Structure 1
């Protein structure tokens, strides 16, 4: 019985190992897919966050007063270029990703935002360019103070109109008209140069008047709400991935628990069918076990080689089928059968004359192990003897002799399969 328990334990360990390996591989595959999805989500989420940071930086710059904002126009233009680069990167990452929030509308909104921003920045850049031109013109007319004075006034009127309150605008425009009238008395080249500059200033003032409207449109642009919505979607996606990982981990633990419990239940059923001698005195069991250990090394080695007719005493295909084709377990079970039961015939005959209860347990044990190894003939004889003993009837000498003969042939068959046949 101890040897059979070892076989069952070995078989159980192999089954559990295989089941755990399969479950572990499936779990790792699922986790790998989720990990790839998590990396894609993290990459796109970082792109959206960085894009939002640059857009908010540009948004904050729009709140500057006009003179300070114009000075930082180049920095704001560089920020718009970075926003466009991030927009391109976001679009490329989205094309190579799966199961990600849709960013196509955000990309469309970004394009509109960049377009309006470039229109706004172009007017501020024109102001900077005009300031540089007026500075250059003053230098050119350094030796003509009368004409140089008009360019100085032109610069003062221009920046007064741009960067002061609008109540002074009519007076500024009248001052510009006076400069236009004064230019009629100049030489043709100087007149043309001054009038061309006046035209540029007038156009700049007209364009710059629209910049306030563009600033309001940019401050209230829908891109801010779109970024906020998309960031919330990524936050929800991260939460879903974390929950999915927890569910998969729970399924893994539950599956392993079910496998172990199922295997233990199956083994318990087999052990219960083979269990015997549970009430036999410990001293008798120990003496018989020690005696078997001493004699098995000699008796089993001198068993005669089984012939072809003896091979059929054990149903090897049945054993392989019941043990999932585990050949090592079959061999171990055969060795245990030879070691523990090769002299059960003689032991049964002695127990019949002294202790019918012990004899019944021996017959029951022999019946169970015979069923396990597929020794149907031996099992049928043991069943008949056990039934008589349960009715407190003494088996005949012919029945005991039939059991002993069948047991010897079954032991020889087990010896044959272990030593001369490849299972």
Structure 2
């Protein structure tokens, strides 16, 4: 294959490799993003599953829920940062927005739960500080009972609970200033906590039915489709590159630069083995140029040394072809036909069209009508003789 074809093949290989590396890099980026979104979905599902329990059980799971929410928030930040750096990715804006809403609602729920626990500790500590007053201690016990009832009784009981808290507030006005201020502060905390906690059931329902999981499921389909397109692109690119190599191979074979691909043996149908006597009068061929040296130089990019090398091979290997064909007609007609076919190919590569046509006629006559061989062999011999002379003259001129 000529050097320029090798260069083109190398360039094509490099382009294919670079494109394949680009597709592979994009595939890894998309796959990493898909795994992050999938992990976010697992975290959200894990947190949501804890909301299906009744309130007493959820209260014991607050710390674990808080850790799950921190993990979800960290994954959300990671996905956002990764998304901003990637150009080939499904649209994640809707997912990020829905995740933010889920985090806000979950945080509000946890704040309420934590506020209840903090309030319970505050009531207990304050009651402990006032054990010397049985009446005041009973009021703190009543507040604890009210908080407990507000958490676990139906919403219809809330009005009565708030009336009882208000009654305790009225009674606190009769206490000494230090005790009054301490109790009233606890009463304010109780009112605030119970007001916020009343929204707890609403928040739980919103979190369980939140649409963030729907967005994650839709994105998983988009990711799979995008990854599938990457694989199709890689396969298509490879097939296209293979087609390019085949085209280069075809172009290289149609412009040969050596005599190694001149003699191509073909599988021809068997022919009979007749005995031929070449005795007819020779057909006179006009002594006109046979080899087109301009065509040879053009096909070899003006490389005179390569032309000389081919001509030397031609003179050495084909000068006696007509005699060989004549001899083989009796012993092995198939070999004679192949010899004529080889000489036909040589004539084409040398640009010697007359020689090529004469060899083609002999090849066809051996297979179809041997009665015409006598004149055709004389014509072939004349063309070959002139071509050999021209080749020797060119060699002599360019070797001197």
Matched position secondary structure for 2:230:
helix
Once residues 391 and 257 of structure 1 are traced to their aligned partners in structure 2, the CA distance between those partners, rounded to angstroms, is 43
Which of residues 133, 139, 160 is equivalent to 2:128? 139
Give CA deviations for 1:42-93 in whole Å, capped at 9, x if unaligned. Answer: 1211121111111112211222322332333233233333322222222222
Matched, 1:414 2:395: yes
**Distance in 1 between residues matched to 2:39 and 2:340, nearest whole Å:** 82
Distance 1:366 1:192, change over 3 A: closer
What residue is the counterpart of 2:317 in the other structure? 340
Shift of 1:99: 2.9
**8 Å CA contact 1:61, 1:76 repeated in 2:** yes
Q: How far 1:124 sits from its partner (Å)?
A: 1.5
Task: Quote the Cα distance in structure 2 between the aligned partners of 1:69 and 1:26.
Answer: 59
Matched, 1:41 2:27: no
Q: Once the 2 structures are TM-superposed, how far is the Cα of residue 265 of structure 1 from its aligned partner?
A: 7.9
TM-score normalised by L of structure 1: 0.68
Go from structure 1 to structure 2 and tell me whether the alpha carbon gap of 1:218 and 1:409 turns closer, same or farther (over 3 Å shift): closer
Q: 1:185 aligns with which of 146, 150, 174?
A: 174
Work out the CA distance in 1 between the residues paired with 2:86 and 2:17: 21
Taking only aligned residues, the RMSD between alpha carbons, in angstroms, comes to: 4.7
Residues 114 and 327 of structure 1, relative CA distance in 2, 3 Å threshold? farther
Unmatched runs of 5 consecutive residues or more in structure 1? 1-9, 282-311
How far does residue 102 in structure 1 lie from its aligned partner after superposition?
0.8
Structure-2 separation of matches of 1:79 and 1:162:
24
| Corresponding residue number in structure 1 for 2:119 | 130
Matched, 1:217 2:193: no
Q: Do 2:55 and 2:152's aligned partners in 1 also have CA atoms closer than 8 Å? A: yes
Higher helix content, 1 or 2: 1
What SS is found at the alignment partner of 2:90? coil
Match of 2:295 among 318, 339, 347: 318
Structure 2 gap ranges (5+): 274-288, 363-371
Among 102, 105, 108, the alignment partner of 2:91 is: 102
Offset from partner CA, 1:7-65 (integer Å, 9 cap, x none): xxx66xx7886665454334323322221221121121112111111111221122232
Between the aligned partners of 2:249 and 2:196, the Cα distance in structure 1 is 80
| Residues 106 and 226 in structure 1, CA contact (< 8 A), matched pair in contact too | yes
Secondary structure of the corresponding residue to residue 173 of structure 2: helix
**Corresponding residue SS for 1:185:** coil
Matched with 2:16 is 27
Whether the 8 Å CA contact 1:316–1:373 is kept in 2: the answer is: yes
Contact 1:91-1:107 at 8 Å conserved across structures = yes
The number of residues matched between the two structures is 366
Instruction: Indicate the residue corresponding to 1:156 in structure 2.
Output: 145
Q: Pick from 392, 409, 417: which aligns with 2:375?
A: 392
Q: Secondary structure of the residue that 2:199 maps to in structure 1?
A: helix
Partner in structure 1 of residue 350 of structure 2? 373
* Within-5 A mapping of 1:294-333: 316-323=293-300, 330=307, 332-333=309-310
What's the TM-score, normalizing by structure 2? 0.72
Alignment correspondent of 1:76: 65
